[in-house]
Structure 1
Amino acid sequence: MENTFPVLHGLADLRLETHPIPPLKPNDVLIRISKVGLCGSDISLVYKGRVGDSVRKPPLGVGHECSGVVTKCGPAVKNFKPGDRVTIETGGPCRTCDLCIGGRYNLCDQASFHSPLGRYPGCLARYYIHDADLCFKLPDNVSDEEGAIIEPLAVAVHACRRASVELGSSVLICGAGPIGLLCLLTAKAMGATNILVTDIKENRLKTAKNIGAHHTLLVDDSDPKILAKKIKDVMGCMPPITLECSGTQSAITTGIYATRSSGVIMLVGVGSPQVTLPLVHAGMREIDIRGVYRYIQCYPAAIAMIANGLIDVKPLITHRFKFEEFQKAFDMFHTGEDGAIKCMISCD
């Protein structure tokens, strides 16, 4: 049995290849991939050769947001059977290091989104082998496309949990891209009642408003202190929580100036490896700057939020492509043309 999937051989050099599917290990499941969503980290990997400060060497598979159908199970798998619809928590922590044992398996050195070509290609493939313990059944009322958005939604859940978003929270969200909009939906579902979303694109702010933002603010090249003052005026307060989802130096700086003393700014977006920030200002106001990487046991909550109607992710899917159109999908998402927010590729 063979598998077909794009392989990254160099910057912007994706080639469709076919390779044999390796034998399953005892706890593996073979998944026929249905839908794959493109993420900013996929774009960074393909066109920059890195994700944040992590440089990845080709050949590499691509894609990590997916849903699919179990087609075969290893002999030790008890909780799945062929025909089960699933979403997968990509990566594979070692489960033996101090971080894994301590419950921070998301930070394990082996838990990479994009695995080298071999046993695990990217999820953008006809088939994918994964550990059954990191697969989750999809309820009947959760579509394949929604199932593919569980992965980035889990990032938003993890970010909001680490920021202690709760009933009545005021939250500033910098960046109305896919992860910023998912953070908006998650924060609102967790009880935030005063959410402002900023972005440099009016069409994305319109989407933010349509899905529940209480306020939006179009930002420009103004001084971050001036923008922070505008944020305070619009929200009626300095927010105690900022979710920075753009990864840009200017937005992080604005977030530091806008966040209330003793508040927290979460670095959700991934941008340049090095940025210059007003750290002394943050330190003297006791603003906590925290990182977010992936998620920790957030998939059940993310699935339940969609299944129970707490959030609606469907408006975020703006473009759809066939498997054979993967290059077109990457190029369009890379350029940002046509107002793309979430591009979905069908592998059926």
Structure 2
Amino acid sequence: MWYLLTGSDVVFFSTPPFHEGSLCEPLAVALAGIKRVGLHLGDPTLIWCNRLDFAKKLVPGVCTVLIECDLTPKDVTQKIKAAANGPEVAIECSSVKSSVHTAVHVTQFGGKVFIIGVGKNEQVFPFMHLSANEIDVSFQYRYANQYPKAIRLVAGGLINLKPLRGRRRPRLVRHRFKLKDAVSAFRVTADPSQGAIKVQIQD
């Protein structure tokens, strides 16, 4: 004789959905940068990256500037200043030499260039431009103690990482792969023509 006892449904709060959980890491990077650079709500900031159409959908009202690859950092600076003037803070997210130089030249007098990412072991900086314009340069490599804040923001609904898409909010994770197809996932990540923002590998 067997007896089956049923229990109450249990909601596990310790394990978030994989999609949201995996995006807490890049969110922690952004939160650490915001804290270190001292940004506040409403501060005008130049964020130096790509995916212009995606940025327009994600952040309504953002001013984007299309940059041709054959332009020099000073040429790019003129395009940015014509569109949005010189920012007090420039956040550079690639650590590529030309991108860093553009961030330096576009930042206004007494401003700050904040570099997130991993670049070459040694780089050349426009030293005299930085000195004459009293521009501070700072860096970020880690993101200590930011996960609790990231989880609170997501749990409280202040930041939405859910896999939704549409006109109002585009999807951050556009490609998903099984673990056995991990090589294909990395190929998509490395291929700009695939339009990947975040690529997720799920077991």
What band does the TM-score fall into relative to the shorter chain? Answer: 0.7 to 0.9
SS at structure 2 position matched to 1:257: helix
Contact 1:155 1:294 in 2 (8 A): yes
Q: 1: CA distance between counterparts of 2:118 and 2:37?
A: 17
SS at structure 2 position matched to 1:172: strand
**2:180 pairs with 1:324:** yes
Contact 1:244 1:265 in 2 (8 A): yes
Cα deviation digits, residues 267-314 of structure 1 (max 9, x gap): 113233332220221122111111101212111221222223323334
1:330 positional shift: 1.4
Does 242-251 or 311-320 show the bigger shift? 311-320
The sequence identity of aligned pairs, in percent, is: 35
Instruction: Name 2:83's counterpart in structure 1.
Output: 234
Instruction: Name 1:207's counterpart in structure 2.
Output: 54
Instruction: Name 2:25's counterpart in structure 1.
Output: 151
**2:117 pairs with 1:269:** yes
RMSD over aligned CA atoms reads 1.9
In the alignment, residue 108 of structure 2 is paired with which amino acid? R
1:168 positional shift: 2.1
- Superposed, 1:177-326 pairs within 5 Å as 199=50, 204-212=51-59, 214-220=62-68, 221-235=70-84, 237-313=85-161, 314=163, 315-326=171-182
In the alignment, residue 304 of structure 1 is paired with which amino acid? R
In the alignment, residue 199 of structure 2 is paired with which amino acid? C
Q: Matched residue pairs, number?
A: 183
Any unmatched runs of 5+ in structure 2? 1-10, 164-170
Instruction: Name 2:40's counterpart in structure 1.
Output: 166
In the alignment, residue 226 of structure 1 is paired with which amino acid? D
In the alignment, residue 191 of structure 2 is paired with which amino acid? T
Q: 1: CA distance between counterparts of 2:127 and 2:179?
A: 45
Q: 1: CA distance between counterparts of 2:158 and 2:106?
A: 29
Q: 1: CA distance between counterparts of 2:54 and 2:160?
A: 12
- After TM superposition, the runs of 4+ consecutive aligned structure 1 residues lying more than 4 A away are none
Contact 1:154 1:294 in 2 (8 A): no
Q: 1: CA distance between counterparts of 2:129 and 2:175?
A: 42
Contact 1:238 1:258 in 2 (8 A): yes
Q: 2: CA distance between counterparts of 1:207 and 1:251?
A: 20
1:84 positional shift: 5.2
1:250 positional shift: 0.8
Q: 1: CA distance between counterparts of 2:196 and 2:133?
A: 38
Name the one with the larger helix percent.
2
- Superposed, 1:8-23 pairs within 5 Å as none
Q: 1: CA distance between counterparts of 2:140 and 2:89?
A: 14
Contact 2:117 2:141 in 1 (8 A): no
Any unmatched runs of 5+ in structure 1? 1-82, 86-136, 176-198
Cα deviation digits, residues 2-25 of structure 1 (max 9, x gap): xxxxxxxxxxxxxxxxxxxxxxxx
Name the one with the larger strand percent.
1
Q: What TM-score does the superposition give when structure 2 sets the normalisation length? A: 0.82
